Amino acid sequence: MEIKETIDTKGLSCPMPMMKLAKAMKGLKPGEILEMFGTDPGTRADLPQWCEKKGNTLLEETEPEPGVFRFLIQKQ
C-alpha cells in the first residue's frame, strides 16, 4: 500500500484538521492514499462521516501512540 501524502494535524482542534484533510485530498488522484495524524477527538467522529459522504474510503484507523490517531484515506 503506497502512501502518497502525509499530513500532521497533531494539537489542532476543530475545524483545522478537517480543513487540512480536505485541502490535501484535493491534490490527490483517484485511488491514491493519504495518511493523516491527529489528536482531536472530534475528528474521529467527523472523518468517517465525511468520507462516507464524499465516497472516499477510510481504510484504517489506528492509535500508534496514546492519544494520537492515524487515518489512512483512499480517494474515490
CA 75 to chain centre: 11
Distance CA 69, CA 9 (A): 10
Catalytic residue among 6, 11, 14, 54: 14
User: Is there a catalytic annotation at residue 14?
Assistant: yes
Interacting residues with another protein between 47 and 66 (CB under 8 A): 49-50, 53, 63, 65-66
Cell triple for residue 73?
A: 484515506
Strands (E), the chain: 3-9, 33-38, 57-65, 68-74
Q: Give the x-and-dash track for 17-36 against another protein (CB under 8 A).
A: -xxx-xx-xx----------
Interface residues with another protein (CB under 8 A)?
8-16, 18-20, 22-23, 25-26, 39-42, 44-46, 49-50, 53, 63, 65-68
